[in-house]
Amino acid sequence: MTRVSNLEFTAEMNANAWKGHRVEMPSTDAQRYISSAESAAKFIAEFGDVEIVKDDYYGHYAVESFKVGRDAYDKLKQADCDRYGSN
């Protein structure tokens, strides 16, 4: 496994944040784009230097230590979809 601090960045990533690495965030279904050493440092300051695993199917980095929070969020979100419907 690797950590956020081990991510490498290209010149293209530095120039365009949307070309960066996508990393899961805790307690939400969102992902954070990490496209430079500066954005990696901000992620680490907020969430720690977590272990990440590349999800080749979806193309993002999964964070196992965030799984419990993400699962709880998904359960709440699904309950709202069941209650109010979704598009």
Could you state, in order of their start, the residue ranges of all structural domains in the chain?
2-84
pLDDT at 87: 72
pLDDT at 81: 94
Low-confidence ranges of the chain (pLDDT < 70): none
Instruction: Starting at the earlier edge strand, list the strands of the sheet with 60-62.
Output: 2-3, 51-55, 60-62, 21-24, 31-34
- What is the pTM assigned to this prediction? 0.87
For 77, residues 6+ apart whose C-beta sits below 8 A from its C-beta are 29
Report the largest interatomic distance among the alpha carbons of the chain, rounded to a whole angstrom. 46
Inter-CA distances, 15 with 22, 27, 60, Å = 16, 29, 19
Give the pLDDT confidence of 26-43 residue by residue, as tens digits. 999 999 999 999 999 999
